[in-house]
Structure 1
Amino acid sequence: MQRSPHKDNALAQLDQMAAALDASGDVMYEWDLATDSLVWLGRSSSLFGLDDKVVPVSGEAYHNRINPEDLPSRMRNLTDHFAGEAYYDCEYRVRDGSGNFQWVHDRGAVEVSTTGAPTRLTGVLRPVTIRKQAEARLEYLASYDELSGHFNKLRLRESLDFSLEQSIRYKYEGAFLAVGVDHLGMINTAYGFEAGDSILVELGERLDKCIRGADIVGRLGGDRFGVIMSVASNDEADAIADRILQTVRETPFEVNGQRIYVTVSIGQVFFPEQTKTSFDAFAKAESALLGAKSNGRDCVKPYKLTIEQCENYRTSMVIGEEVKLALKEDRLALAYQPIVAADTHEMVLVEALLRMYDRNGDIVPAGVFIPVVEQLGMMRVIDRRVLELALQDLAANPDITMALNISGLTASDRGWLRALSSKVKARPDLAERLIVEITETAALHDLEESARFVSSVRQLGCKVAIDDFGAGYTTFRHLKTLTVDIIKIDGSFISGILENEENQIFVRNLLSLAKALNHTTIAEFVETAEEAEFLAREGVDLLQGYHFGKPEISPEWLGSKNKQAADKRVAAQGKAAIPA
């Protein structure tokens, strides 16, 4: 009896599909929902680590092999898919023949009857255990130090930021210790780097035993650990530091059968009296640690301000209080600088720059108060207010596109993102005219977090620009990861570019890179017609600088109501609070 060509062709296609599944390691299945029977195509026995005779042949038997923690999620996904509300696409763990759980990616589609009832689910299982293990590893390394198992520097900084915020809010004292191993380089030279690593691991364990239950230990990097004492008086912090010194000093470290005597030095900073941000606390504690090493090591040294530093600190506190009062009294304003097309010099957009009025109504330059705001940890609050002001002016001026510069801290602040989202989701016309600028150094500080931020902002309909490009070490890979829209060339490469061939080469290479990635380019600090002509000839898209206009608080294009608010001066209330 002769077989039909059609049937031969179908069998050939089935063989090809089976071969492709074998090569990929995937397994195809067909689940008859009416009879609860499962049919597999591919090496299902290899996937489950089971004999062919005990591979699940029913939906119930298969569900019994799914990890109980993952089964509810799969069932919800199935229910939503059967109801036509979602694709069926999920990942979960399945118990193999040895009792271990393996991750699979399950993706499929349901067939329905003429009445709309689900009848059959056809899908593909893909083993993804290796990928899930790699993801778990990366997630672990995002928070923990690979060598010691303690918090890494980033997670330690986040914990310290939280402790600082709590100490300021509830007015209690705390301390941060930087603990460094003395002469670790000599130990590495004499006994090998493995010995040094062993000492660091054991030091971390000893620190855990010396601190209190609520205290936190993390790795600062190199030979240094950090200890956060969220609630501690000066005496309590001193007692813990002395206990650490004694514990390390009195008990030798056992490395490959050898007893090695080690000491540590400790730098100590108290908060919120001496510091209000984690960056500042790290710097001051490590400065004190260097002082302890200079004093002969094996000792603790508290951070102390010099007379000049005390004066600067008092000045900073005065400025900080004035900024808080300016926020309360609505004395913050935005100045706008035009950004023009390189070929026509017509204004394309404006950059919003923060300014403040003192109590006499005089403008305070940003350079006077912004560094203090950053030092005192107030930048998030300021950036929230700047966002409000910018969106108000955007709403009042529908023909204006605006660039808004935010701090590195705000670039990782989900609260700021939520505020942006709540204001522009109902106003897509505002989102499409808003450009959020982050500095290159902030973007590279935590590339993964910055990429998430950029993606979130762009999903809202806004554009994102990298400011001060060239000041850091951005590579082609970094730019592809960040997927920004605009690159602003750092002004140091533009100023005097006609006389500086190295800067010309840098700008040309940058423009080639930007063109390859389809990025718009802006050159800032353009001060002469000759510089503008040169940059336009080289291919820069937009230009910004004093040649085209200085920042103005109330430019002509600003809506009348907003212009009146911008022109308003605060009545004099005594002498200006900002020191000279």
Structure 2
Amino acid sequence: MAGFKKLIFLQLISWIVFSALGSFLIASSFDNAVSRAQQNAQSMVSNYIQEKTMADVTPEHIRLSLGSGNVFSSFIVRDFAGQTVLNINTQSKMPVLAGIIADTMNSIRPQFAVNKSKDIKIEFLINVESQAALLQQALIFMTIISALMAFFPIFYMKTIYRKLNRNVSMTVADAVDIYITQNQVSESIDQDFNTNKVADLGAELAPSFNRLAHFLKSKQEDIKSAAQTIKQEAYKDVVTGLGNRNMFVEYYEHQIESASDKSFGSLAMVRCSELQMINQTRGYQKGDLYIKGIADIVKHVSGTYTGSQVFRLNSSDFAVILPNIPSKEAERFGETLQARFTQYQQNQELSSVANTGIVPYESGKPLGELLSVVDNAMSMAQSKQANAWHLQRETDLVNNVGAGFGNQNWRRVIREVIESRRVMLMMQNIMPIGKNVKAYAEIQARFKTEDGQMLPTASFLAMAEKLEMAVEIDQLIIDTSIEMIKSRNFNEKFFGINVTASSAHSDQFVIWLERRLLKEANLASKLIFEVSEFGLQQNIKASKRFIDMVHRVGARITVERFGVGLTSFKFFRDLKPDFIKMDASYTRGLEEDKNNQYFMRLMVDLAHRIGVSVFAEGVESQEEKHIVETLCLDGVQGYYIEKPKEV
């Protein structure tokens, strides 16, 4: 297109140059013709008057000699003294272009003639109207012809250019279509352009199109690489750096479920048993360190098996794929994990670390079915002891000891704990801030198996809630706590006991607790029952009935994990608790979080106005304790203040 514009510019310049040159030549010819005509006229007039006298030259004689008057446009006769004897002026209109040229070149000039006796002086201008008309016609004709010669090639070339452009476009489109068709089948760009088709455009274009094909290939590789990087980031767990659930599902579906070759192996699920407790009592940073520690153990143990893969499925679950590992070898894997978890438990002073459920797999087995089986294996492992593992064998599945056996086993374990009263009490004090503040010690329960092994507390309580056995567990804890207080003669201390929301909303439990506290009237005033804010919200009417009963017998109420729910202050005021425990999420990083400081100070002011004491839980550092003190809270609880101790 740029070359075509250049052609137009050159043709235009050529037309201007040739038009100017042609005009100059025609104008010069016109000037020469007029000059010759003037010379002839001057010679003719001089010869005519050479031998004549004034008496011979009369006006009538001259008019007769001039005839029609088309020869001269001006004719003046003067005598010896210079007086005008005759003045003939013929009006003639010269064409515009001719007039401009005549004026420019000064072609038409006055001519003079004198006789011998010098008594006749003639001045005249010749009439060049016919020559001027011819001049203008020649200029117009020359301009038109030169314009046609200049611009006709342009229009012709433009037509050819359009046709050529259309042919090139169609050929290129055909080549691109063929190229797309060739590469449509595969996911990657493998084929080059059809050089035979592109060759129709010229041999020079074929290499360019092939360079384009190679460029597209390289760009596709770049895009694939970038997409893979993004996918890896999206499929990676930020805390451990392991693949997440999405990567696990994709790996299983491609490498195992849809694998063309027959394969087998073992799938292990590792569930962190203390994550929730650590997050609530020690903070999310310690929770992340706990997760990283377990991830390191799992990676180290599984790293000894060829082709093993580790994924983090959710906040507390890890999946380990052990290709080509039979059940016997998977048992050794479970034993090694348990030993490492127990060592980690002792170093970190935890009640448990993680449990492991293991199942065998074969290629083609649906993932959903396998996860259901491994979840059952996990339930079996949790019901054994701290850090235990369980392998769900094929024979168990064949004999239908599968889907419900985990729950049945848990029910048996929980029933044995209740009947054998295998509960161990821990105690963690709340440190009061200020001299007139009354705080208490929170009683925490731990549970043991029949062989004395510690059960994972969070899993135990969750399964008790799931199996509708939470009321019996709460009754066991309360009975054991009252007996412990009586036997240890803790008459000067106050004790907090956790109660699940399902128990607080149970009429049967409320009646039992009222009778139990009335029987121990001297101890009722020493007890504070802790219920979570979220649990109280589930049934407001039942929650108020429970709190009223507790107050009626002389005991008190703490709303724990306050601030997590969306409780209105009116609801909080109507419940009339004695204490509230701010959730640990408000304590974490309190020295830097101005919003949490403002919220906590606001809650303290509102609570104090209605006579409610406010405690902070999850205090893990000197800085957090100092901020809590400046915000005028009434007490602090956490591992920085005191770790739970066995009674």
Task: Give the TM-score taking structure 1 as reference length.
Answer: 0.41
Which has the greater radius of gyration? 2
User: What is the TM-score normalised by the length of structure 2?
Assistant: 0.37
